[in-house]
Structure 1
Amino acid sequence: MTVPSRPIKLMAQIYRKVLPDVHHNLEKWKDKALAIPDAELRKQALASIESKTFHCEGGSIYSLLAEGHRKEIIAFIVAYQTISDYLDNLCDRSISLDPEDFRCLHQSMLHALTPGAAPEDYYRYRGVCNDGGYLQALVDTCQQTLNGLPAFPVIQPALLELAGFYCDLQVHKHVKKDQRVPRLIAFFKKNKAHLPEMSWYEFAACSGSTLGIFCIVSYAASRGSEMAQLVDRIKDSYFPWVQGLHIMMDYFVDQEEDRIEGDLNFCSYYSSDEEMIHRFKHFIEEADKAIENMPDKNFHKMINRGLLGIYLADRKVAKQRNVRVLARRLMCRSGGSALFFFVNGWLYRRIRQSI
């Protein structure tokens, strides 16, 4: 199976080959979540699947790079993204503000990338801990997939580096409100020497995506013998620009929701809408440049445009007047393929919500 390089072929493969397997895997995890003994953990596990299915659907598009190993890579992506979304819910909606608690929970994401890592009590810093083996089962699924990849020892350092950024971000952004920005600025300063010119909140956004991990694992399944030459190229293409674009769009559409919930939103730190749109355009341009040296670069360019189109098709955009106006400006900048994905995203979400 060749990697799709045109929007219509990509969407056809997503609808026929990716989404059915994603939903099959999510149903399995939903059944497991329903059996969680603790009421609060059960509630957050189910809510993360119900409200964030889109994350698994989007991430699993990378399985199209895995050729004949698509199904097992989808199983990995769905499990890993489900860990991410579940922990995000636990941290966002928790009465705990303890960084040790958040660090311990997110250790599961590093263990998921470390086959052979011994099971741990990831809940040991919080009062509730009886999840019926739910989190460990997600970790085990990831480990099993990675253990079957001959190239895994070659890619593991890059996976752990990207996951390390992600876990650090999740710890810093969920602590007491008056500690969040100072911790995130210190996190930025620690890594600033290795980054292109950007702000602390843009670096935080770049750290908050799992796309680089999914891309590397998918290629490792189909191009195992080439990964020694490819892994750093993939990592450097996706981090920071592609990942940053992904997460900034996520925050862009969530501005009103985050304001109501009192959650940190990186878009709020731009001095004006003009500056924000200017920087978004810069991220789009740099993301395009970054993937020029990637194999299957047309596929990756479509992902960039797809991210824009599908996020901007979110119902939340239509409900926020200012965001809606800015979204139109971004669509105009992003070309025909972004419009194609916008229309597809708009239709798909409304069909799903009507079923």
Structure 2
Amino acid sequence: MKNGIPRRPATLMYAVYKHIMPRVRTHLERWKREAALIQNKELREQALSSIESKAFHCYGGAVYAFLAGNLLEDAVEFIVAYQTISDYLDNLCDRSTSLDPADFAMLHNSMREALDPDSELSDWYSLRNDSEDHYLKMLVKTCRRIIKKTAPDEAVQKQILRLNELYCALQVHKHVNPDERLERLLSWYEAESSDELQYWQEFAAASGSTLGIFCLISYALSWKGRLPFAKRVADVYFPHIQCLHIMLDYYIDEHEDEQEGDLNFCSFYMNKDELGRRIDSMIQNSLDQTALMPDAQFHAMVIQGLTGLYLSDPKTRRQNPFLKKRWLKMAGPGSYFFYYNSKIYCDLVQKVR
């Protein structure tokens, strides 16, 4: 490790088990206790369910805390709180009876306000019947407290808010009535996308990741808010690394989503060959762009980790084994380490259960 930032896969995994996982677990237990106090039954169930079923998002995202140097604890606390907001709102939009985009947008104001400590807090539940007055507010205030400590300058804040705006817009468009969803996503892509992303589903996928925000916040903590390479980080994460992240996530769920009739970005390619080539391109572009960043080895390991961890999921047994081998090889030797490490860990967890 150099300056506290792991440089090798084995070092990273050891540091994650020792420094990251216990801290994430502690914060998640805290938020689970707070969620259990929500009086509204529907919101309580969705808050607890989001922690139970999506905790791995926090464990994965918290790897960026290594970029925060001596403020690793603050970075973990922020990442867990912000990701918990994201997962909770995803449940509220995905599993509730509401299909109102205005309601979804109002709920997601909480994510923007979590990043902007000087903004006035909205009435996030004002367009739905269910409401609560402490859980979401506590999550938001936790993020705001750490953002104040980070004191990001205007350049950093601009990039963080830009990534958040894209994320929140996607959550609104993809949760509306299925008959309206595709038209809204296409119109949004035409209005917002640059020539860099020629496939609307890849623009949407790149918008759906919080990794760039975690990276920027962690760096800002270490650099005391003055981050001369903030735009470079944001431009590499959006679209390259974030697109790869979410497309791999959709890839492992492709069969399940097809059976349940859920939206899956992988299904919008002409065929599996095109899908394979596009993910080839995402891996290669991510690695090429990462090579030009500070701490390039760490960010390359993130790409290898994403590839290895997602492709180790048992659900990929239904997928083309040739593609799995090709992508692991493209991502680099470290991807095999994360792939086998994840499989062994999951097997151990299953045996304990």
Superposed CA deviations along residues 61-101 of structure 1, whole A, max 9, x for unmatched, are 00001110000110000000011111111111111110001
Q: Which residue of 2 aligns with 1:343?
A: 340
- The one-letter amino acid paired with 1:48 is S
Query: What is the TM-score with the length of structure 2 in the denominator?
Result: 0.95
- In the alignment, does 2:150 pair up with 1:149? yes
Pairing 1:244-255 to 2, within 5 Å after superposition: 244-255=243-254
Q: Which residue of 1 aligns with 2:120?
A: 118
Change (3 A) 1:16 1:196: same
Q: Which residue of 1 aligns with 2:94?
A: 92
Deviation (angstroms), 1:226:
4.7
Change (3 A) 1:235 1:46: same
SS at match of 2:123: coil
Cα distance in 1, alignment partners of residues 256 and 124 from structure 2:
29
Pairing 1:227-246 to 2, within 5 Å after superposition: 227=227, 229-246=228-245
* Cα pair 1:252 1:323 within 8 Å, conserved: no
Cα distance in 2, alignment partners of residues 208 and 175 from structure 1:
16
Between the aligned residues of both structures, percent identity stands at: 45
- The one-letter amino acid paired with 2:343 is W
* Cα pair 1:253 1:323 within 8 Å, conserved: no
Cα distance in 2, alignment partners of residues 104 and 260 from structure 1:
31
Q: Which residue of 2 aligns with 1:8?
A: 10
Q: Which residue of 1 aligns with 2:162?
A: 161
Cα distance in 2, alignment partners of residues 70 and 350 from structure 1:
29
Deviation (angstroms), 1:178:
1.2
Cα distance in 1, alignment partners of residues 43 and 321 from structure 2:
35
- The one-letter amino acid paired with 2:337 is F
Cα distance in 2, alignment partners of residues 289 and 336 from structure 1:
16
Q: Which residue of 1 aligns with 2:69?
A: 67
Change (3 A) 1:350 1:53: farther
Deviation (angstroms), 1:15:
0.6
- The one-letter amino acid paired with 1:78 is V
Cα distance in 2, alignment partners of residues 43 and 197 from structure 1:
38
Deviation (angstroms), 1:40:
1.2
Cα distance in 2, alignment partners of residues 304 and 45 from structure 1:
30
Q: Which residue of 2 aligns with 1:334?
A: 331
- The one-letter amino acid paired with 1:36 is I
Segments of 5+ residues of structure 1 without an aligned counterpart are none
* Cα pair 2:150 2:225 within 8 Å, conserved: no
Query: What is the TM-score with the length of structure 1 in the denominator?
Result: 0.95
Deviation (angstroms), 1:116:
2.8
- The one-letter amino acid paired with 2:333 is G
Q: Which residue of 2 aligns with 1:187?
A: 188
- The one-letter amino acid paired with 1:54 is F
Q: CA RMSD in A?
A: 1.5
* Cα pair 1:62 1:215 within 8 Å, conserved: yes
Segments of 5+ residues of structure 2 without an aligned counterpart are none
Superposed CA deviations along residues 259-283 of structure 1, whole A, max 9, x for unmatched, are 3433211001011111101000000
SS at match of 2:345: helix
- The one-letter amino acid paired with 1:292 is A
Deviation (angstroms), 1:324:
5.1
Superposed CA deviations along residues 114-163 of structure 1, whole A, max 9, x for unmatched, are 10323322111111113x41111110000000001133444111111000
Cα distance in 1, alignment partners of residues 287 and 239 from structure 2:
12
Q: Which residue of 1 aligns with 2:200?
A: 200
Change (3 A) 1:7 1:109: same
Cα distance in 1, alignment partners of residues 226 and 131 from structure 2:
42
- In the alignment, does 2:25 pair up with 1:23? yes
Deviation (angstroms), 1:325:
5.5
Cα distance in 2, alignment partners of residues 147 and 53 from structure 1:
26
Change (3 A) 1:133 1:260: farther
- In the alignment, does 2:60 pair up with 1:58? yes
